[in-house]
Amino acid sequence: MVQSALYEEIDNLYAETVERRRFLHQHPEVSFHETKTARYISDFYEDLGIPYRNNVGGNGVLATLKGGKPGKTIALRADFDALPIQDEKEVPYKSTVPGVMHACGHDGHTAALLSIAKAAKKFQEDIPGTIVFIHQHAEELVPGGAKPMIDAGTLEDVDAVFGTHLWATEPLGKIQTTPGPFMAGADRFTITVRGKGGHGGYPHETKDALVIGAQVVMELQQIISRKLNPLYTAVITVGQFNAGQAFNIIAETAKITGTVRYLRKSAQEMIITNIKRFLDGAAKMHDVEIDLDYGKGYPPLTNHVEEAHLALDACKHVPGVTNVEVCEPSMAGEDFAYYMKEKPGTYFFTGAAPETIYPHHHPKFDIDERALLIAAKSLIACFFAYQEKHEN
């Protein structure tokens, strides 16, 4: 059976897969600047003799392997951008680029997908249908790489799309996903309070932007606790508050930056409406100007129910998988959401926790590289499960 043969070949390629992942880890590039990484991926497909396109929607790479047997066209996606974080790990494959590292596992996603391509090429004549390999740039930075790649025709003639994220906070062998809403929509906002500065000893002659800003931060939380249906899920997080220049000067301006996470569009709309309403009221009450710059980011990632169950069932039989479960939705964002708006499919987590766990986007982030095998085989399992379910 070709599926079992592909599993075996993935095992045979393990050392190569780790080597590729470590090379990418040592040479990271941030979103929208991944030119060398894209060239590395393109050269790989050139050497394999698999047709590909580069510069797809930016730095994206798209490769297509047509199997020797009839079947559906299924896309598998991996992202390949890094983050502006200094790598603090003391390992031989530590990032060589100051201030840039793969702190989210995208190097592993890419290495796993390349190994699937190499294994599939070996058994091309026995594979049903077509595999489309989506190597996507710029997942980490809005507006992201998914939408421009889709606009460039990435999903033309594709019947379904699957993807996985190495999840370093879950143990090796675990597969997780959720039918329906799986990952949050992720927006960003900046609130600027423009008051009147002055002497710290004469507050009555000023309009203290710092104090007003502090009230804004606290009141924002009441939108969640008092305006949002408690059966819905949403978060307002303030990550930055900048105000003031000295201990004895009352601040003239305050800048508040944060994120809104949500699973339902109605929750997003309610939050935006109430932020605007509250800020208008605060500006009038304190006789100051308050500006809101609200940027809508990635929409919620909503898995297709049928394909999510298909993935859960398929992954149960993958070598190395010990636990498959339906999990609670994650409040992290992912531009894989755009693929789910266009085609059937699902996105799932592959457990990759190393011995010492650091969260995603941490300077000491790392993965258990054995998860590369499970990720690759799980995507293969989804490919064949979909083919079998939709045989003519």
Q: What is the mean pLDDT of each run of 10 residues along the chain (392 residues)?
A: 97 98 98 98 98 98 98 98 98 98 98 98 98 98 97 98 98 98 98 98 97 97 95 96 97 98 97 98 98 98 98 98 98 98 98 98 98 98 97 78
Last residue in a domain, options 298, 322, 348: 298
Q: How far apart are CA 370 and CA 354, in angstroms?
A: 10
Task: Reply yes or no on whether 88 is catalytic.
Answer: no
Range of the domain at 39: 2-182+300-389
> In terms of Cα–Cα distance, which of 173, 206, 45 is closest to 116?
45
Residues 23 and 172 in one domain: yes
Residues 141 and 189 in one domain: no
Last residue in a domain, options 252, 269, 298: 298
> Is-contact 172 351, C-beta < 8 A?
yes
* Residue 47, Ramachandran bin (φ over 0: left; ψ between -120 and 50: alpha; else beta): alpha
Catalytic residue among 29, 81, 252, 366: 81
Question: Which residue type occupies 243?
Answer: A
Residues 291 and 314 in one domain: no
Domain harbouring 213, CATH code: 3.30.70.360
219 DSSP 8-state letter: H
Catalytic residue among 139, 335, 368, 369: 139
Last residue in a domain, options 298, 328, 350: 298
> Is-contact 334 139, C-beta < 8 A?
yes
365 DSSP 8-state letter: -
Residues 332 and 281 in one domain: no
Q: How far apart are CA 190 and CA 212, in angstroms?
A: 15
DSSP secondary structure string for all residues of 263-321: SSHHHHHHHHHHHHHHHHHHHHHHT-EEEEEEEEEEPPEEE-HHHHHHHHHHHTTSTT-
Q: Are strands 253-262 and 234-243 parallel, antiparallel or unpaired?
A: antiparallel
Token output for 104: 């989210």
Task: Reply yes or no on whether 90 is catalytic.
Answer: no
Q: What is the pLDDT of residue 1?
A: 86
Q: How far apart are CA 123 and CA 127, in angstroms?
A: 7
